[in-house]
Amino acid sequence: MRRFLIRVRAMAYKEALHIRRDPLTLYIGLVLPLIMLLLFGFGVSFDIDHIPLAVVDDDRSPESRALVDAFTAAHEFERKGSLDDADAAGDVFASGRAAAVLEIPEGYARALARGETAEVGLLLDAADASSTTAALVRADAMSRLATARVVASAVPGMSASGGLPVSAATWTRFNPAGRSALFLVPGVTAYVLALVAVLLTALAVAREWERGSMEQLFATPVGRLDIVVGKLLPYLAMGAVQVLLVLTAGAWVFGLPLRGNLLVLAIAAILFMLGMLGQGLLISVVTRNQMVATQASTLSSMLPSMLLSGFMFPIANMPWPLRALSHIVPARYFIAVLRGVLLKGNGWTELWPDLVALLAFAAFMVAVSTARFQRKLA
């Protein structure tokens, strides 16, 4: 055992020297994750606001102007001008000047004064389905707010729901502001770390195969397990730094909270990084070519981590073959741990199945990598 540890330490020291002398490896391991986190965090957002709004006000009354102000006060809709009639909506949609048109018919204020139902129209450009859905939700909220103000002004002390027998109150837990960054950053973290970890070991080991330095390594008395463990340890240490950098940036830039057990998160991160590093090592052992290793690493880590992990799309909405396939994607379990620890305050009780899945994946990848790592050049 002592000799094994000495050999592993020597291999790890050698690999650490390679990492320190290689600017590209340091860039991929420490700088690229931060750049990708910022790009995804700011560039990918489901928060729809400042929706360009054109107004057709045929009533031209204080009440109609108050309704327009209710729509634009929170800056969720941003007024971009007025139209003479609703028939011009197609032109502003086609030119991109507006994504919504609010039509207030003549007699709007008169209907309110009589206590009748006042109807308004909202025309939407449905070319972007997600923006259309968000605009409908916001328009409904704005109309309810305007109704509450009208009722309150007409009957002092009465609210908009005063005449209803049942009133429902809604609370949102864990992300009350509905910020998409809090939902996306944990997924981005897993996606970025998966891609970078697989690339690191795949390129580093494949480069040694191409340069012929493996011949010198095979001339030493080290065994396969010594080589595998010795090569993984420095990159695992770099992976720990990656996790700290990415989570720190997420908390500092995007306000990502930490509500759960930090030890659970640390163990999950180590297991996830170990599994992805082992996957990269397996790819390098099989391909022995940097170009092929890069392509295989990107395809095997990027696409599953983005599409089958729950990062962008709910797993429950996928067809059953994809749901079954998602069970072998480690990013699925790491994202569950990240969201559970950071947002929900979960601990061992809730997250132990995900930790077991990450442990199984890491053990499988290291075992297969060691088995395929043969002490021969062909």
Q: Give the number of C-alpha atoms closer than 13 A to the C-alpha of residue 282, restricted to the C-beta side.
A: 19
Phi, psi of 81 (to 5 degrees): 125, 180
- 51-154: what fold? abc type-2 transporter like fold (3.40.1710)
Domain boundaries, the chain: 2-44+179-372, 51-154
State yes or no: pLDDT of 284 exceeds 90.
Answer: no
Q: Grade residue 364 by pLDDT with cuts at 50, 70 and 90.
A: very high
Is pLDDT at 327 greater than 70 in this prediction?
Answer: yes
Distance of alpha carbon 230 from alpha carbon 204, whole angstroms: 13
The residue to which tokens 């996306």 are assigned: 184
pTM of this structure:
0.75
For residue range 105-126, what is the model confidence (pLDDT) as tens digits?
Answer: 888 888 878 877 778 888 887 7
State how far the Cα of 203 lies from the Cα of 214, in Å rounded to an integer. Answer: 14
Cα end-to-end distance, the chain, whole Å: 30
Tell me: pLDDT of 22 over 70. yes
User: In 3D, which of 58, 96, 99 has the Cα closest to residue 78?
Assistant: 99
Between 333 and 86, where is the model more confident? 333
Q: How confident is the model at residue 157 (pLDDT cuts 50, 70, 90)?
A: very low
